[in-house]
Every structure is written in structure tokens, then in C-alpha cells.
Amino acid sequence: MILQALSSIHSLGYVHCDINPRNILAFPGSPAAAAESGNRGEEGIRKLKVADFGLAVETWKLIQGSHNKHRGTTRYVPPEVVVDGRVTSAMDIWALGCTVLEMLTGEIPWTRLHDVEDVLMEVRNGCQPEFLG
């Protein structure tokens, strides 16, 4: 569902720039919708939605270079954004990958680092988050 949402956002000419667990909202579906789809569970179908478009930027502005700077939640920002400020739709995909890995492992990216500046230094030095290394 989130990949479909990102595909839609990107096809409309935007980059979200802040995909992380706090910006993915989960909603329980109705019992009627669950029964309709054959899912008889009590919670029904869950819907996922992307939220907080406060840092989103239009792709054409990125091409002009007017918004190519560090954006987003540092632990989920890809190396190319930290190193050279290259903001593209790939940024959202990297952040979603970090989010999915966090869901699977229960660990945030760069879990051993508590300071944002330390995270930025690790990325600039070519290091990977612990669960990728």
C-alpha cells in the first residue's frame, strides 16, 4: 500500500522527503469490509496512509536546484542527500526501506547513535545503519 502511495505521489510530481514510521498511519478497516474480502478477523482490513507532507517538494523545483538540501528525519535520509544534497524520489524509497527494516527488527536505523550529528558523520563516512551492515 505504501509503495502504491509513493508511486502516486511521485507520478504527481512530488517527493515526500520525510517517510518514516511516524508518517505512516495505520487504520483498521470495518468488519463489513473484512467480511466482503473473506477476512473474518475481528480487526478487519488495515489501511495504511502516508501523512505529513510538510517537507514535500515538487520535482521541478529539485531540477532547478532550489530545494536540493538536507530534508527529512536524519535517520531515514539516504547517503546522497547527506553527502551532496541530491533530493530525488529515490529518497522516499530508501526511507521506506529503513522503515520496513525497523518494523522487522524493532531497531531504529543508527540505533547506537544518539546524536543527529553523529548519524550525519557516519553517513558521510560511508557507513551503513547497523541492520544493513
Q: Cell for 95? A: 526511507
Q: How far is CA 112 from CA 20, 40, 103, 107, in A?
A: 18, 41, 17, 10
**Among 18, 84, 92, 115, which one carries the catalytic annotation?**
18
Residue 70 near residue 85, CB atoms below 8 Å: yes
Residue 61, phi then psi, degrees to nearest 5: -70, -30
Active site residue 84: no
- Which residues does the annotation mark as catalytic? 18
